[in-house]
Amino acid sequence: MKVIIIIPTYNEKGNIERLIEILQNDVFPNIKNHQMHILVVDDSSPDKTADVVEQLTKKYKNLHLLNNGNKLGLGAAYVRGMNTAIEKLGAEVMFEMDADLSHDPKKVPEFLQKIDEGYDMVIGTRYSQGGSIPSNWGIIRKIYSVFGNLLVKAILMRFWIHDWTGGFRALRKEVFLKEKKELTSFRGYTFQVSFLHKAVRDGFKVAEVPIHFTDRTLGRSKIAPKEYIAELLTYVVAARFWELVYSPFLKYAITGFTGYIINAVGLEYFYRQGFHPSIAGAIGAELSIIWNFVINNFWAFNQYKITNPLKILVKFPQFNLVSFGSLIIISAILAVGNYFFGPASRQIFLVIAIGFFVIPYSYSMYNIFIWKRWHISFLSGLQKMVG
Protein backbone atom coordinates (compact mmCIF):
# COMPACT_ATOMS: atom_id res chain seq x y z
CA MET A 1 0.00 0.00 0.00
CA LYS A 2 1.03 3.58 -0.47
CA VAL A 3 1.67 5.08 2.95
CA ILE A 4 2.21 8.81 3.50
CA ILE A 5 3.56 10.16 6.74
CA ILE A 6 2.13 13.64 7.17
CA ILE A 7 4.18 15.98 9.31
CA PRO A 8 2.83 19.46 10.08
CA THR A 9 5.53 21.99 10.83
CA TYR A 10 5.74 25.44 12.27
CA ASN A 11 9.29 26.57 13.00
CA GLU A 12 10.81 23.10 13.05
CA LYS A 13 13.89 23.75 10.88
CA GLY A 14 16.30 21.73 13.02
CA ASN A 15 13.90 18.94 13.93
CA ILE A 16 12.42 18.22 10.52
CA GLU A 17 15.77 17.55 8.92
CA ARG A 18 16.72 15.02 11.58
CA LEU A 19 13.33 13.34 11.45
CA ILE A 20 13.37 13.00 7.66
CA GLU A 21 16.88 11.49 7.74
CA ILE A 22 15.89 8.96 10.41
CA LEU A 23 12.73 7.95 8.53
CA GLN A 24 14.52 7.63 5.20
CA ASN A 25 17.64 5.86 6.43
CA ASP A 26 16.68 3.90 9.52
CA VAL A 27 12.97 3.21 9.19
CA PHE A 28 11.84 2.95 5.56
CA PRO A 29 14.51 0.42 4.46
CA ASN A 30 13.03 -2.09 6.93
CA ILE A 31 9.51 -1.76 5.54
CA LYS A 32 9.26 -4.05 2.54
CA ASN A 33 5.53 -4.43 1.94
CA HIS A 34 4.53 -0.77 1.63
CA GLN A 35 5.62 2.24 -0.41
CA MET A 36 6.65 4.86 2.11
CA HIS A 37 6.36 8.62 1.49
CA ILE A 38 6.60 11.78 3.59
CA LEU A 39 4.49 14.92 3.21
CA VAL A 40 5.53 17.97 5.21
CA VAL A 41 2.77 20.55 5.65
CA ASP A 42 4.36 23.86 6.53
CA ASP A 43 2.49 27.05 7.44
CA SER A 44 5.02 29.59 6.10
CA SER A 45 7.31 29.08 9.10
CA PRO A 46 9.37 32.25 9.65
CA ASP A 47 12.46 30.11 10.35
CA LYS A 48 12.27 28.85 6.74
CA THR A 49 11.49 25.24 7.57
CA ALA A 50 10.11 24.97 4.04
CA ASP A 51 13.49 25.78 2.47
CA VAL A 52 15.16 22.98 4.39
CA VAL A 53 12.53 20.51 3.25
CA GLU A 54 12.67 21.83 -0.33
CA GLN A 55 16.40 21.11 -0.37
CA LEU A 56 15.82 17.57 0.88
CA THR A 57 13.22 16.84 -1.81
CA LYS A 58 16.10 16.89 -4.30
CA LYS A 59 17.71 14.05 -2.39
CA TYR A 60 14.56 12.03 -1.69
CA LYS A 61 11.98 11.36 -4.40
CA ASN A 62 9.43 10.18 -1.84
CA LEU A 63 9.55 13.45 0.10
CA HIS A 64 6.89 16.07 -0.63
CA LEU A 65 6.28 19.58 0.63
CA LEU A 66 2.97 21.39 0.90
CA ASN A 67 3.23 25.11 1.49
CA ASN A 68 0.00 25.57 3.34
CA GLY A 69 0.07 29.37 3.63
CA ASN A 70 -1.10 31.11 6.78
CA LYS A 71 -0.87 29.44 10.17
CA LEU A 72 -4.41 28.27 10.79
CA GLY A 73 -3.64 25.59 13.37
CA LEU A 74 -2.89 21.93 13.45
CA GLY A 75 -6.34 20.73 12.39
CA ALA A 76 -6.39 22.87 9.25
CA ALA A 77 -2.86 21.73 8.36
CA TYR A 78 -3.83 18.07 8.68
CA VAL A 79 -7.08 18.40 6.73
CA ARG A 80 -5.27 20.13 3.89
CA GLY A 81 -2.38 17.65 4.12
CA MET A 82 -4.62 14.61 4.03
CA ASN A 83 -6.62 15.93 1.09
CA THR A 84 -3.39 16.49 -0.82
CA ALA A 85 -2.00 13.10 0.20
CA ILE A 86 -5.07 11.32 -1.13
CA GLU A 87 -5.86 13.39 -4.22
CA LYS A 88 -2.41 14.29 -5.49
CA LEU A 89 -0.22 11.53 -4.09
CA GLY A 90 -2.58 8.57 -4.04
CA ALA A 91 -2.24 7.75 -0.34
CA GLU A 92 -4.07 4.70 0.96
CA VAL A 93 -2.77 4.96 4.50
CA MET A 94 -1.68 8.15 6.26
CA PHE A 95 0.23 8.88 9.44
CA GLU A 96 -0.07 11.84 11.75
CA MET A 97 3.28 12.61 13.29
CA ASP A 98 4.90 15.56 15.08
CA ALA A 99 8.06 17.04 13.62
CA ASP A 100 9.84 17.52 16.93
CA LEU A 101 10.91 13.86 17.42
CA SER A 102 8.52 13.44 20.33
CA HIS A 103 7.09 10.55 18.34
CA ASP A 104 9.64 7.79 17.90
CA PRO A 105 9.87 7.14 14.14
CA LYS A 106 11.02 3.57 14.83
CA LYS A 107 7.46 2.79 15.95
CA VAL A 108 6.08 3.25 12.43
CA PRO A 109 6.28 -0.48 11.52
CA GLU A 110 4.24 -1.40 14.61
CA PHE A 111 1.44 0.91 13.45
CA LEU A 112 1.59 -0.60 9.97
CA GLN A 113 1.41 -4.08 11.44
CA LYS A 114 -1.98 -3.16 12.95
CA ILE A 115 -3.15 -1.72 9.63
CA ASP A 116 -2.10 -4.98 7.96
CA GLU A 117 -4.16 -6.86 10.54
CA GLY A 118 -7.22 -4.97 9.26
CA TYR A 119 -7.55 -2.06 11.66
CA ASP A 120 -8.75 1.26 10.19
CA MET A 121 -7.10 3.59 12.66
CA VAL A 122 -4.12 3.04 14.96
CA ILE A 123 -3.57 5.30 17.95
CA GLY A 124 -0.21 5.80 19.64
CA THR A 125 -1.01 5.79 23.32
CA ARG A 126 1.02 7.18 26.19
CA TYR A 127 -1.46 6.05 28.82
CA SER A 128 -1.52 2.28 28.58
CA GLN A 129 1.01 -0.32 29.59
CA GLY A 130 4.24 0.18 27.71
CA GLY A 131 3.56 3.87 27.08
CA SER A 132 4.65 6.98 28.96
CA ILE A 133 4.82 10.76 29.13
CA PRO A 134 8.13 12.53 29.85
CA SER A 135 9.01 12.55 33.53
CA ASN A 136 10.46 16.03 33.17
CA TRP A 137 7.15 17.58 32.12
CA GLY A 138 6.05 20.25 34.57
CA ILE A 139 3.28 19.30 36.94
CA ILE A 140 0.79 21.59 35.19
CA ARG A 141 1.37 20.02 31.80
CA LYS A 142 1.09 16.54 33.32
CA ILE A 143 -2.19 17.46 35.00
CA TYR A 144 -3.60 18.89 31.78
CA SER A 145 -2.66 15.82 29.82
CA VAL A 146 -3.63 13.11 32.32
CA PHE A 147 -6.85 14.70 33.53
CA GLY A 148 -7.76 16.01 30.10
CA ASN A 149 -7.66 12.45 28.83
CA LEU A 150 -9.57 11.07 31.81
CA LEU A 151 -12.25 13.70 31.37
CA VAL A 152 -12.63 12.97 27.68
CA LYS A 153 -12.90 9.24 28.37
CA ALA A 154 -15.45 9.75 31.13
CA ILE A 155 -17.65 12.19 29.22
CA LEU A 156 -17.57 10.22 25.99
CA MET A 157 -18.00 7.00 28.00
CA ARG A 158 -15.39 5.19 25.99
CA PHE A 159 -12.83 3.87 28.40
CA TRP A 160 -11.09 1.38 26.17
CA ILE A 161 -9.26 4.10 24.27
CA HIS A 162 -6.45 5.33 26.49
CA ASP A 163 -5.06 8.33 24.67
CA TRP A 164 -7.44 10.79 23.03
CA THR A 165 -5.24 13.84 22.58
CA GLY A 166 -2.08 12.28 21.20
CA GLY A 167 -1.00 13.00 17.65
CA PHE A 168 0.88 9.87 16.58
CA ARG A 169 -1.59 7.90 14.50
CA ALA A 170 -2.10 5.90 11.35
CA LEU A 171 -5.35 5.69 9.44
CA ARG A 172 -6.79 4.38 6.24
CA LYS A 173 -7.89 7.01 3.76
CA GLU A 174 -11.51 5.82 4.12
CA VAL A 175 -11.60 7.11 7.68
CA PHE A 176 -10.55 10.59 6.63
CA LEU A 177 -12.83 10.67 3.58
CA LYS A 178 -15.80 9.76 5.73
CA GLU A 179 -15.11 12.29 8.48
CA LYS A 180 -13.40 15.21 6.76
CA LYS A 181 -16.49 17.39 6.32
CA GLU A 182 -16.93 17.40 10.09
CA LEU A 183 -13.32 18.16 10.95
CA THR A 184 -12.57 21.48 9.36
CA SER A 185 -13.43 23.72 12.29
CA PHE A 186 -11.34 22.08 15.02
CA ARG A 187 -7.99 23.28 16.26
CA GLY A 188 -5.24 21.89 18.50
CA TYR A 189 -6.18 18.91 20.65
CA THR A 190 -9.84 19.22 19.75
CA PHE A 191 -8.94 18.12 16.24
CA GLN A 192 -7.37 14.91 17.54
CA VAL A 193 -10.20 14.15 19.95
CA SER A 194 -12.99 14.89 17.50
CA PHE A 195 -11.38 12.89 14.69
CA LEU A 196 -10.98 9.82 16.88
CA HIS A 197 -14.43 10.21 18.39
CA LYS A 198 -16.12 10.38 15.00
CA ALA A 199 -14.16 7.37 13.76
CA VAL A 200 -15.19 5.32 16.79
CA ARG A 201 -18.78 6.53 16.50
CA ASP A 202 -18.94 5.34 12.90
CA GLY A 203 -17.64 1.90 13.75
CA PHE A 204 -14.13 2.09 12.32
CA LYS A 205 -11.84 -0.49 13.93
CA VAL A 206 -9.35 1.21 16.23
CA ALA A 207 -6.16 -0.33 17.65
CA GLU A 208 -3.60 1.07 20.05
CA VAL A 209 0.19 0.99 20.06
CA PRO A 210 1.91 2.03 23.32
CA ILE A 211 4.45 4.82 22.80
CA HIS A 212 7.00 6.68 24.91
CA PHE A 213 6.52 10.37 24.26
CA THR A 214 9.83 12.22 24.54
CA ASP A 215 10.12 15.94 25.05
CA ARG A 216 11.43 18.04 22.18
CA THR A 217 15.05 19.11 22.50
CA LEU A 218 14.89 21.84 19.85
CA GLY A 219 12.47 24.71 19.42
CA ARG A 220 9.34 25.52 21.39
CA SER A 221 5.89 23.98 21.71
CA LYS A 222 3.18 25.75 19.72
CA ILE A 223 0.23 24.13 21.38
CA ALA A 224 -0.68 25.49 24.81
CA PRO A 225 -3.06 23.07 26.56
CA LYS A 226 -4.83 25.82 28.45
CA GLU A 227 -5.84 27.53 25.21
CA TYR A 228 -7.71 24.45 24.08
CA ILE A 229 -9.25 23.12 27.26
CA ALA A 230 -12.46 25.16 26.95
CA GLU A 231 -12.85 24.27 23.27
CA LEU A 232 -12.17 20.62 24.01
CA LEU A 233 -14.68 20.45 26.85
CA THR A 234 -17.31 22.18 24.77
CA TYR A 235 -16.76 19.62 22.04
CA VAL A 236 -16.99 16.52 24.22
CA VAL A 237 -19.98 17.73 26.21
CA ALA A 238 -21.90 18.69 23.06
CA ALA A 239 -20.90 15.48 21.29
CA ARG A 240 -22.07 13.38 24.21
CA PHE A 241 -25.30 15.33 24.47
CA TRP A 242 -26.21 14.69 20.84
CA GLU A 243 -25.20 11.06 21.16
CA LEU A 244 -27.63 10.68 24.02
CA VAL A 245 -30.36 12.45 22.09
CA TYR A 246 -29.92 10.09 19.16
CA SER A 247 -29.30 7.01 21.26
CA PRO A 248 -32.21 5.03 22.73
CA PHE A 249 -31.66 6.70 26.10
CA LEU A 250 -33.95 9.69 25.67
CA LYS A 251 -36.71 7.56 24.19
CA TYR A 252 -36.23 5.05 26.98
CA ALA A 253 -36.61 7.87 29.52
CA ILE A 254 -39.77 9.19 27.85
CA THR A 255 -41.18 5.67 27.75
CA GLY A 256 -40.40 5.20 31.42
CA PHE A 257 -42.10 8.45 32.30
CA THR A 258 -45.28 7.59 30.38
CA GLY A 259 -45.10 4.16 32.03
CA TYR A 260 -45.16 5.84 35.39
CA ILE A 261 -48.30 7.79 34.39
CA ILE A 262 -50.00 4.56 33.32
CA ASN A 263 -49.09 3.05 36.67
CA ALA A 264 -50.60 6.01 38.52
CA VAL A 265 -53.77 6.09 36.40
CA GLY A 266 -54.15 2.31 36.78
CA LEU A 267 -53.85 2.60 40.55
CA GLU A 268 -56.54 5.27 40.62
CA TYR A 269 -58.92 3.48 38.25
CA PHE A 270 -58.82 0.05 39.89
CA TYR A 271 -58.93 1.54 43.36
CA ARG A 272 -62.16 3.30 42.43
CA GLN A 273 -63.48 -0.02 41.07
CA GLY A 274 -63.23 -1.31 44.64
CA PHE A 275 -59.80 -3.02 44.63
CA HIS A 276 -57.43 -2.78 47.57
CA PRO A 277 -54.76 -0.09 46.85
CA SER A 278 -51.96 -2.68 46.80
CA ILE A 279 -53.81 -4.79 44.23
CA ALA A 280 -54.81 -1.70 42.21
CA GLY A 281 -51.19 -0.54 42.31
CA ALA A 282 -49.94 -3.96 41.19
CA ILE A 283 -52.35 -4.04 38.22
CA GLY A 284 -51.20 -0.53 37.31
CA ALA A 285 -47.58 -1.68 37.58
CA GLU A 286 -48.11 -4.65 35.28
CA LEU A 287 -49.92 -2.47 32.72
CA SER A 288 -46.99 -0.11 32.88
CA ILE A 289 -44.53 -3.00 32.39
CA ILE A 290 -46.42 -4.18 29.30
CA TRP A 291 -46.46 -0.62 27.96
CA ASN A 292 -42.74 -0.21 28.67
CA PHE A 293 -41.90 -3.44 26.93
CA VAL A 294 -43.92 -2.68 23.81
CA ILE A 295 -42.82 0.95 23.43
CA ASN A 296 -39.16 0.23 24.16
CA ASN A 297 -39.25 -2.64 21.71
CA PHE A 298 -40.85 -0.76 18.83
CA TRP A 299 -39.50 2.72 19.50
CA ALA A 300 -36.51 3.19 21.81
CA PHE A 301 -34.72 -0.01 20.83
CA ASN A 302 -36.37 -0.41 17.44
CA GLN A 303 -33.04 -1.11 15.76
CA TYR A 304 -32.80 -4.20 17.95
CA LYS A 305 -36.51 -5.02 18.14
CA ILE A 306 -37.76 -8.48 18.89
CA THR A 307 -40.48 -9.56 16.43
CA ASN A 308 -40.46 -13.33 16.60
CA PRO A 309 -43.53 -14.21 18.78
CA LEU A 310 -41.73 -17.14 20.39
CA LYS A 311 -38.86 -14.90 21.36
CA ILE A 312 -41.26 -12.34 22.77
CA LEU A 313 -42.68 -15.12 24.91
CA VAL A 314 -39.21 -15.66 26.36
CA LYS A 315 -38.23 -12.01 26.58
CA PHE A 316 -41.35 -10.70 28.24
CA PRO A 317 -40.92 -12.74 31.45
CA GLN A 318 -37.25 -11.67 31.49
CA PHE A 319 -38.40 -8.08 31.15
CA ASN A 320 -40.75 -8.60 34.08
CA LEU A 321 -37.85 -9.95 36.09
CA VAL A 322 -35.83 -6.83 35.35
CA SER A 323 -38.81 -4.69 36.39
CA PHE A 324 -39.10 -6.72 39.55
CA GLY A 325 -35.48 -5.81 40.23
CA SER A 326 -36.44 -2.12 39.94
CA LEU A 327 -39.24 -2.71 42.41
CA ILE A 328 -36.84 -4.24 44.92
CA ILE A 329 -34.39 -1.36 44.45
CA ILE A 330 -37.13 1.18 45.09
CA SER A 331 -38.47 -0.49 48.21
CA ALA A 332 -34.98 -1.08 49.60
CA ILE A 333 -34.03 2.56 49.17
CA LEU A 334 -37.35 3.78 50.59
CA ALA A 335 -36.71 1.52 53.57
CA VAL A 336 -33.24 2.99 54.06
CA GLY A 337 -34.63 6.54 53.78
CA ASN A 338 -37.40 5.71 56.20
CA TYR A 339 -34.94 4.24 58.70
CA PHE A 340 -32.67 7.28 58.74
CA PHE A 341 -35.00 10.19 57.98
CA GLY A 342 -38.53 8.98 58.68
CA PRO A 343 -41.51 8.67 56.35
CA ALA A 344 -41.46 12.38 55.42
CA SER A 345 -38.41 11.62 53.26
CA ARG A 346 -40.30 9.20 50.98
CA GLN A 347 -40.69 11.37 47.88
CA ILE A 348 -37.06 12.49 47.95
CA PHE A 349 -35.90 8.91 48.30
CA LEU A 350 -38.16 7.82 45.47
CA VAL A 351 -36.45 10.37 43.24
CA ILE A 352 -33.02 9.22 44.45
CA ALA A 353 -33.95 5.59 43.92
CA ILE A 354 -35.16 6.18 40.35
CA GLY A 355 -32.56 8.75 39.29
CA PHE A 356 -29.46 7.12 40.69
CA PHE A 357 -30.32 3.43 40.81
CA VAL A 358 -33.32 2.33 38.77
CA ILE A 359 -32.42 4.22 35.59
CA PRO A 360 -28.77 3.04 35.40
CA TYR A 361 -29.85 -0.46 36.41
CA SER A 362 -32.76 -0.92 34.04
CA TYR A 363 -31.13 0.89 31.12
CA SER A 364 -28.07 -1.37 31.39
CA MET A 365 -30.23 -4.47 31.74
CA TYR A 366 -32.20 -3.55 28.63
CA ASN A 367 -29.02 -2.89 26.68
CA ILE A 368 -27.15 -5.96 27.84
CA PHE A 369 -29.79 -8.65 28.33
CA ILE A 370 -33.10 -7.69 26.75
CA TRP A 371 -32.18 -6.00 23.48
CA LYS A 372 -28.48 -6.93 23.54
CA ARG A 373 -27.35 -3.62 22.17
CA TRP A 374 -24.17 -3.48 24.24
CA HIS A 375 -23.16 -7.05 23.66
CA ILE A 376 -20.17 -6.32 21.48
CA SER A 377 -19.10 -2.77 22.06
CA PHE A 378 -19.74 -2.47 25.76
CA LEU A 379 -18.68 -5.83 27.11
CA SER A 380 -15.67 -6.21 24.88
CA GLY A 381 -14.81 -2.61 25.76
CA LEU A 382 -14.99 -3.50 29.42
CA GLN A 383 -12.77 -6.47 28.77
CA LYS A 384 -10.20 -4.31 26.98
CA MET A 385 -10.36 -1.79 29.78
CA VAL A 386 -9.53 -4.44 32.37
CA GLY A 387 -7.07 -6.31 30.17
Number of residues that bind Mg ion (CB under 5 A): 3
Minimal distance, residue 110 CB to ligand GDP, in Å:
20
Of 6, 146, 24, nearest to 66 (Cα)? 6
Among 6, 8, 280, 306, binds ligand GDP (CB under 6 A): 8
Q: Applying CB under 6 A, which of residues 4, 9, 206, 283 lies at the interface with ligand GDP?
A: 9
Q: Is 125 in the site for Mg ion (CB under 5 A)?
A: no
Q: Of 102 and 194, which CB lies nearer to Mg ion in the complex structure?
A: 102
The reply on whether position 102 binds Mg ion by CB under 5 A is: yes
Q: How far is the CB of 52 from ligand GDP (least distance, A)?
A: 13
Residue 34, CA atoms < 13 Å, CB-side half-sphere: 23
Which of 69, 117, 64, 121 lies closest to 94, judged by CA? 121
Query: Is 177 within 8 Å of 219 (Cβ atoms)?
Result: no
Rounded Cα–Cα distance for residues 280 and 261 (Å): 14
Identify whether the C-beta of residue 359 lies closer than 8 Å to the C-beta of residue 333. Answer: no
- Lay out the site mask for ligand GDP across 85-124 (x = CB under 6 A, - = otherwise): -------------xxx-x----------------------
User: Which residue stretches of 105-186 are H helix?
Assistant: 108-116, 139-156, 173-179
CA–CA dist 226, 159 (Å, integer): 23
Nearer to ligand GDP among residue 68 and residue 367 (C-beta): 68
Q: Is 43 or 98 the residue whose CB approaches Mg ion more closely?
A: 98
Angle between helices 225-246 and 248-272 (to 10 degrees): 50
Report the site for ligand GDP in 315-354 (rule: CB under 6 A): none
Q: What is the DSSP letter of 168?
A: -
If the CB atoms of residues 100 and 120 are measured against Mg ion, the closer one turns out to be 100
Report the site for ligand GDP in 190-229 (rule: CB under 6 A). Answer: 216, 221-223
Residues 71-100 that bind Mg ion (CB under 5 A): 98, 100
Binding partner at 178 among Mg ion, ligand GDP, none, C-beta below 5 to 8 Å by kind: none
Please state, in angstroms and as integers, the Cα–Cα distance from residue 257 to each residue in 262, 288, 355, following that order: 9, 10, 12
Q: Which residues bind ligand GDP (CB under 6 A)?
A: 8-10, 12, 41-43, 68, 71, 73-74, 77, 98-100, 102, 216, 221-223
